[in-house]
Amino acid sequence: MSFVVQRRSVQICCLLVFFACIICWRSSDVILYGRFWAEEGDNFFYHAWITPQLQMLLYSFGGYLNLATNATTLIAARYIPLQYSPYFTSITGLLFQLLPLFLLLTAKDEWLNSTKARILTTVLLLLVPESIETSLQSLHIQFQLTLASVILLVLQPVSSYQRYFRLFILALAGLSGVMNICLIPLFFIQYFLEKKQYRLEQLCIVLISCSIQYFIFYETVSNRFHNFFISDFFEIFFVRNLLFPFLGTNTETIKYANFLHDHIHQISAAYIPSLFVIIFLLTIIIIFLSSTKNKKSCFFLYLFFRSVFSFNHRFYWTKGGILNSF
């Protein structure tokens, strides 16, 4: 035990293994029997099986390029025996789920140097409500990449090889979905505040990858679009992050969630959820700003982690045409 405490590299390996075991335990059937998730199998894997390799890498589905999924299913279809292909895509999904934690555990920031901080970080990531839409599959690697991008937004620079690895993550995130477009103003603000070369590098990579995504691949798919209102965000955040986690999934909470769903575009129905969400976020801000040593890092990490991850789910459902986001 003392050896684990004293060696940071051993700590990181143990925490990553622990995190992976919990994720696999939550969806043990996927690990035991294998699985393609929705379009991961009947769309991406199918096209990877019959389409030329370069054409598959640039394959656009749902109005945008998803390079990470394209590459994963291409390898699974062309270089992995068919019976093991679903296991390969699941393992790849797991590795990308580990990516945000890996970035935090290997960061050199002062507030992440202690053993207690690294353990707490691992536990906090495990406590985030998990969705089968993003777990143990390659279809929605883009969500993990967006989360990793948000984390990179607040982490300080590291050694050369990790610096290039981080830039690669930002580039892949921009080419694997549209959510990173929402982060461009934040990367610009971070560069404006710090005026460091590595922040300029990050901003340029995000701008280039997102520009390629938006101007070359992005297109509106009319039958997968619904209008978005700020009240929708408050209601989704309230149900997914406050109502169900704190009061449980039972008859009464489901009944209220269904009520909000049926009145999702009515501002009056969002009064109570909005009030709770605003109070919750303000409380978090006050706690972090009044009690943490590294206020900016903790505040950015927690608030962006929670808000962006929730918004990403809403953005996905909005573009996906499924109104039942709860």
In the DSSP assignment, the letter for residue 116 is: H
Task: Note the pLDDT of residue 222.
Answer: 61
Confidence of residue 285 (pLDDT cuts 50, 70, 90): low
What residue type is 110 in one-letter code? E
Task: Note the pLDDT of residue 250.
Answer: 77
What residue type is 95 in one-letter code? L
Burial class (CB in 10 A: 0-12, 13-18, 19+), 301: buried
Strand partners, 61: 64
Under 8 Å between Cβ of 151 and 113: no
* pTM above threshold 0.75: no
Task: Note the pLDDT of residue 324.
Answer: 41
Of 135-139, 152-156, 246-250, the poorest mean pLDDT is in 246-250
- Integer Cα distance of 198 and 196 in angstroms: 6
- Integer Cα distance of 67 and 142 in angstroms: 9
Question: What are 63-98's pLDDT values in tens digits?
Answer: 899 999 999 999 999 999 999 999 999 999 999 999
Q: What is the 3-state secondary structure (H, E, C) of 251-304?
A: HHHHHHHHHHHHCCCCHHHHHHHHHHHHHHHHHHHHHHHHHCCCHHHHHHHHHH
What's the mean pLDDT in 185-201? Answer: 88
Helix (H) or strand (E) holding 65: strand 64-65
